[in-house]
Chains A and B, each alone.
Chain A
């Protein structure tokens, strides 16, 4: 009959003391109640509309009641949604009621104040410039389908009736689907690289590298390889073999002429740098083996930078910065220092050596001497000294030698000068190797200063 349950009418009638209400009257009243409710809703909708909202609120209802000259319902002006409880009256009948929350006064007083809502503010942006909607973050990405390029000509030409301005369904970006073959290939390559259980394994591994180095259809796999590389390097810092194999994979990828790795360089650099200047690579039992890994990493870094350094301008400075930081950090082991020196050499070339290594040798001298004095670490320190010497050698090769030995003192005076300039250890070494060109190159700084 009516949507409003006539039983409610009977209940209300009983609550005010009318016990026998004829059924006709009940039905009639139920229908009337329904009409009144519809009337209130009709008015409430008006308030919702004028409030430019799409949800009807309790406020709208109370405004509507006031407009209809009815006393509004108090106590429901809530910004949070009302919670309805449900009670069973036995049988199939159910009763719904608004749950009253019990609040402890003590708790309410002592609880922290609710967060202040954020201040209302406004921002301005161009929604359209001379009929074209600029693609800025403030504007929606309706043009994902490439319409943005030539939107003006799209939108300003008269639309024919068949034009599909609004009816156009935007296709979602194609989901990245990897073919079964590629998945299998990826799994095999990864297994081949890491698996050491198979006896003649190096053959298999070499085959894998060769494949990665030369196959054409791998571009889809690149993101997976990248993930694989960074994942393995972060989780296998203790295993030099894994690190080496993974770095070789990087090298193989770099070798592949069919891949465009430029977008992935930012994610490769940290991985390679980790292998280069990482604090603890491998286990202590590995001894000096990690220097080899660092050499490999350094060569890969050099290749990376040669290949992509021009495209990503901030690459070199950032890498150099972290290398210098690692080198001059006395808390780091010599292994890290070694890697850092290698990195600096390969990152910045002779200019780097000249401007980043030479000026800091003086400071580093203290650390070196300490290391050389300590028996357990001497070997490592020596390796660093060798690396530094190697770096200085590049200066020699680079230096045109035009400065010659002009104005350079002899003998002890020269040694003293070198020690002053680059510290005791390196100064002596340079003096001992004795190449005048090298000495000149090292002292170049002084000459210019």
Chain B
């Protein structure tokens, strides 16, 4: 340790902070000359002030500089000298002890400040070249955060040398960004006061960290009530939540906006959430077809005609939502296939099994068909079902894709040699690394004649999915033809493994998410991406489309943990949602287009309201290991999830009680949020859960499988749930 340079001191620049958003980080002056030159400088300034008669300023400066420069053994420099490598450790312990013993009403909010302080104390210790002390500090103090920040802790625990600090993603994330945190005015004032009194015992160091690396917003507790008010406090008192608030964290955004500028008040982008309007020609064709269908097969008594159903469907647009225009997102002209698919959708929509929300305390009974894959030897990475429920595909760790026909039909190809006996399964070989996601092009399910007596249509070959996308660790995305079972296009542009790929709900476009921290938008005929969505601070692990095809949602892993909403037309970030404590593993947007659900690998599912950009509620129940798939019922009333804990769960998505009214009251349009007011409005009272493993009351059912992790859940257009999993004995 003898060779270590003296720790840099930061005495010169630090004054006791009196306001939250205090200036930019200031460079510390080197310790050796710090006290001396400071003294001179202070002398000059003091002389100047007394000459000008700024007596109060003079007194203030005297008081402040007194403790810094003149006090022989009370300066931070002395403190640092005394403790050397334990300097940050001591300082952290002082704050920690204080937070632990503080009044209960401040404890919840102030305990949130410990995590960023812990990270920075650790990084600073390492950066000061005290690896042993850093390690001791880390091991001693990590317990508090084991639950919530396990991933970050694992990443940080590796850091041992100052150069690692420069290279480690997490460390850099914390060093180059400010950690945003909201405290009540009183809480923050008490904290600052405390740090001032403990100035010589490390308070100075802490003030330094808070000024440089934290972005603390103060709110008036009395004024806001709600989220940070008494109600929240009562919840916390019951030992309830240890989850980050939705504005807390590194991206440090204003809740509900994508504006990352520090201090900016969030002006929300106006979102276009209504369904994409139909092409006029297509609409005419569909109407004609429906009328024809109605006349040949009049609806059963008590059922509306297809034409009525269709009218109803296109008229339900709420007036406060605008629809994206077809000009901004061009599509190829519609074909007969599109007409057939639209007609089929209307039919299915009419004949579906209706799932209303929870009524009278009783949840709807959902039916789930489980497809279990055997003899997989844990090599299956993903399972996907086609929209028409005729095909299932798996992507494997052995780089191939396998497609099965669910109704045991032979999968034929015009290229089959004569005499070839096609089986009900096909292998698609092309990738050179594990396949991580698959996506079928849109298709419509053809109802079986025996279940729906009134449709005597034989299977129209038209409505089957014709293409499938796959993405792999070999950084490529491939488009496969399901007619010939061959590879049509290879899309290369990502330079890291591609984790997820999804077709647009209307086809033609697709989006991909990659370990290179970008999501990209493509159209099938072009081999270069149309848009690159950059902004995530770590791997983009999963993505989902908005049902109108105008937005995509991306979720990121370790370090970032945000869900972001991107506009296809502008290529910009429209919303950002923070609040997850684990890696985002699945996202699904409700068919109504107003809510998005995201799940993480700690088993928490969060619902977000798109228009206000706020958290609706957290739902707990899944075990650790990840919720791998989410889907919504056709009516957007029920959410179904499947995951690593061998279960399929059904959730009630109604916002819990009073917050619902508030969320509804706040209608669309460009909502101006001015910090404080916003905090009070829509944040839901999070459901009460006694322990981590206990389910929140909004879980309707929990269906366990037999040793089969559930990789995929999907609601069909008729509201039947398909679940896919691999049996792993």
Binding site for B on A (CB under 8 A): 1-2, 24, 28, 31-32, 34-35, 38-39, 42, 46-47, 49-55, 59, 63, 67, 117-133, 138-140, 142, 152, 155-161, 163, 165-167
Given A50-B436, A118-B375, A121-B375, CB of A67 within 8 Å of CB of B365: no
Q: Are B161 and A35 in contact (CB under 8 A)?
A: yes
A1 CA to B132 CA, complexed, in Å = 7
What residues of chain A lie closer than 8 Å to B374, measured between beta carbons? 118, 120-123
Interface residues of B in 361-380 (CB under 8 A from A): 361-378, 380
Q: In the docked arrangement, what's the CA distance between A167 and B692, Å?
A: 11
> Which one of A31, A67, A123, A131 contacts B364 once the chains associate, using CB atoms below 8 Å?
A131
Given known A39-B158, A117-B375, A121-B375, contact A128–B397 (CB-CB < 8 A): no
Name B1's closest neighbour in chain A (CB-CB).
Answer: A24
Give residues 344-399 of B contacting A (CB, 8 Å).
358, 361-378, 380-382, 392, 394, 397
What are the 6 tightest A-B residue pairs by CB atom distance, in nearest-first order?
A: A131-B365, A38-B158, A130-B365, A127-B370, A31-B160, A127-B368
B372 near A122 with CB under 8 A, answer yes
Digitize B1-35: 1 where CB-to-A-CB distance is under 8 Å, 0 elsewhere. Answer: 00100000000000000000000000000000000
The residue on B at minimum CB distance from A151 is B701
A11 CA to B253 CA, complexed, in Å: 51
- B695 close to chain A: CB less than 8 A: yes
Q: How many A-B pairs fall under 8 Å by CB?
A: 182
Knowing A156-B365, A161-B697, A166-B694, say if A138 contacts B375 (CB, 8 Å). no
Q: How far is the CB of A93 from chain B (nearest CB, A)?
A: 24
Segment at the interface with A among B258-266, B304-312, B484-492, B703-711: B703-711
Chain B: which residue is nearest A121 at the CB level?
B374
Query: Which residues of B have CB within 8 Å of A49?
Result: 583, 601, 626
B239–chain A nearest beta-carbon distance, Å = 12
Among A1, A31, A54, find the residue whose CB has the most chain B CB atoms closer than 10 A.
A31
Complex Cα gap A147–B192 (Å):
56
Residue on A nearest B378 in the bound complex, by CB = A53
Of the candidates B358, B702, B709, which one forms a contact with A52 in the assembled complex, judged by CB atoms under 8 Å apart? Answer: B709
> A128 contacts B648, CB within 8 Å?
yes
Given contacts A34-B160, A117-B375, A161-B688, contact A125 B370 (CB under 8 A): yes
B473 within 8 A of A: yes
What A residues does B397 contact at CB under 8 A? 51, 59
Partner of B697, one of A1, A129, A155, A160: A160
Complex formed: what's the CA distance from A118 to B727 in Å?
14
Contact A120 B376 (CB under 8 A): yes
Contact of B392 among A117, A122, A140, A157 (CB under 8 A): A122
Give chain A nearest CB distance to B567 CB in angstroms. 27
Interface residues of B in 142-160 (CB under 8 A from A): 154-155, 157-160
In angstroms, Cα B601 to Cα A174, docked, is 37
CB atoms of B370 and A126 under 8 A apart: yes
Indicate whether B541 reaches chain A with its CB closer than 8 angstroms: yes
Further 12 A-B residue pairs, CB within 8 A, beyond A42-B155, A138-B706, A166-B695: A31-B161, A35-B164, A47-B473, A50-B499, A119-B375, A120-B373, A123-B374, A125-B370, A126-B369, A159-B699, A165-B694, A167-B691
User: Which residues of B have CB within 8 Å of A55?
Assistant: 378
- Chain B interface size band reads 35 or more
Within 8 A of A (CB), among B405-461: 406, 433-434, 436
Beta-carbon contact of B368 and A128 below 8 Å: yes
Alpha-carbon gap, A119 to B406, bound state (A): 16
| B695 in contact with A127 (CB, 8 Å) | no
Q: Does B100 contact A (CB under 8 A)?
A: no
CB-CB under 8 A from B365, the residues of chain A are: 128-132, 152, 156
A96-B693 Cα distance, complex, nearest whole Å: 40
B366-A125 in contact (CB<8A): no
User: Would you call B131 an interface residue if the criterion is a C-beta within 8 Å of the partner chain's C-beta atoms?
Assistant: yes
Q: Is B177 an interface position by the 8 A CB rule?
A: no
Tell me the complex Cα distance, A117–B396, Å.
16
Q: Is B82 an interface residue when CB atoms closer than 8 A count as contact?
A: no
Closest chain-B Cβ to A263's Cβ sits at a distance in Å of 27
Alpha-carbon distance between A47 and B433 when the two chains are bound, in angstroms: 11
**Chain A residues near B706 (CB-CB < 8 A):** 138-140
Bound Cα distance from A267 to B721, whole angstroms: 45
- A157 touching B373, Cβ below 8 Å: no
* B3 in contact with A24 (CB, 8 Å): yes
Residues of chain A with a CB closer than 8 A to B363's CB:
131, 156
Query: Chain A residues near B473 (CB, 8 Å)?
Result: 47, 63
Q: Is the CB of B370 within 8 A of A52?
A: no
- Residues of A contacting B583 in the complex (Cβ-Cβ under 8 angstroms): 49
B700/A156 in contact, CB under 8 A: yes
Is the beta-carbon distance between A158 and B361 smaller than 8 angstroms? yes
Contact flags B481-524 to A (C-beta < 8 A → 1, else 0): 00000000000000011010000000000000001000000000
Q: Which of B377, B394, B499, B648 contacts A117 (CB 8 A)?
A: B377
Q: Are B158 and A156 in contact (CB under 8 A)?
A: no
| Complex contacts, B131 vs chain A, CB 8 Å | 1, 31
Of all chain A residues, the one with the shortest Cβ separation from B406 is: A124
Closest-by-CB residue of A relative to B374 is A121
Nearest-neighbor residue (CB-CB) of A27 within chain B: B131
Pick the contact of A156: B362, B367, B406, B689 (CB < 8 A). B362
| A138 touching B370, Cβ below 8 Å | yes
Is B691's CB under 8 angstroms from A52's CB?
Answer: no
A132 to B704, CA, bound (A): 11
Asked if B83 is at the interface of the complex by the 8 Å CB criterion, the answer is no
Residue of B nearest to A155 (CB): B701
- Tell me the minimal C-beta distance from B572 to chain A in angstroms: 27
Instruction: Give the docked Cα–Cα distance between A166 and B697 (Å).
Output: 12
With a cutoff of 8 Å between Cβ atoms, the chain B residues found around residue A138 in the complex are 370, 372, 706
CA distance A233 to B368 in the complex (A): 51
Question: Nearest Cβ distance between residue A318 and chain B, in whole angstroms?
Answer: 33
Q: A34-B160, A120-B374, A122-B373 are in contact. Are A140 and B695 (CB under 8 A)?
A: no
